[in-house]
Amino acid sequence: MNTLMPMETIEKKIFLIRGKKVMLDRDLADLYKIETAQLKRQIKRNIDRFPSDFMFILNQQEVEMMVCQNGIPSKKHFGGAKPYVFTEHGILMLSSVLNSKRAIQVNIQIMRIFNKLRQLLLRHEHLNKKIEELEQKYDKQFKIVFDALREIIMPPEKPKKKIGFIVNSKP
């Protein structure tokens, strides 16, 4: 397989936003060896090819989250404008819009990485299901033990006796 760059380099540029795996316009432009402004111009010229499930613009809260959680030094990293982010399908569409050999080669490599990530996720889902099945099976068997442990940790409260005098109001 002819690779333009290590897979890890591309994998680090994939983020999870709005429950979707996406890549930033700036990172894609860097991979394609073009300016971010040129990438955005091509998108604007072909906006019909990029519905909201292919590409969307980050809102202010998402930009701040990216800066806080993903090692992005500051909002200046985005060049002053809110970044476009592309889902897997949006990245596929980019190769037809950019129409260069490099864009096609980079997209092939990115698609292979998305596929690899999907396969890893499926393996993890299978393991999670197995663990849940085991938990359900053993939770029923060890319910008595868990209940006893809860009583030891948090014994039931005994009703407190009232202190003081009781006044009988009958003459």
Which pairs count as long-range contacts for 19-22, CB under 8 Å and 24+ apart, including other chains?
20/87, 21/87, 21/88, 21/114, 21/117, 22/85, 22/86, 22/87, 22/90
Does residue 125 fall inside a structural domain?
no
pLDDT at 1: 44
Does residue 168 fall inside a structural domain?
no
Does residue 87 fall inside a structural domain?
yes
**pLDDT under 50 in the chain at which residues?**
1
Whole-model pTM: value is 0.62
CB 93 within 8 A of CB 49: yes
Does residue 153 fall inside a structural domain?
no
CB atoms within 10 A of CB 149: 11
Does residue 129 fall inside a structural domain?
no
Does residue 48 fall inside a structural domain?
yes
Task: Show the domain range for 44.
Answer: 7-119
Number of domains in the chain: 1
Give dist(CA 30, CA 32) in Å, integer.
5
Does residue 155 fall inside a structural domain?
no
pLDDT at 65: 79
Write phi, then psi, for 88 (nearest 5 degrees).
Answer: -55, -45
pLDDT at 55: 94
Instruction: Tell me the sheet residues that pair with 21.
Output: 16
- CATH code at position 47: 3.10.260
Instruction: Look over the chain and give the mean of its residue pLDDT values, rounded to a whole number.
Output: 78
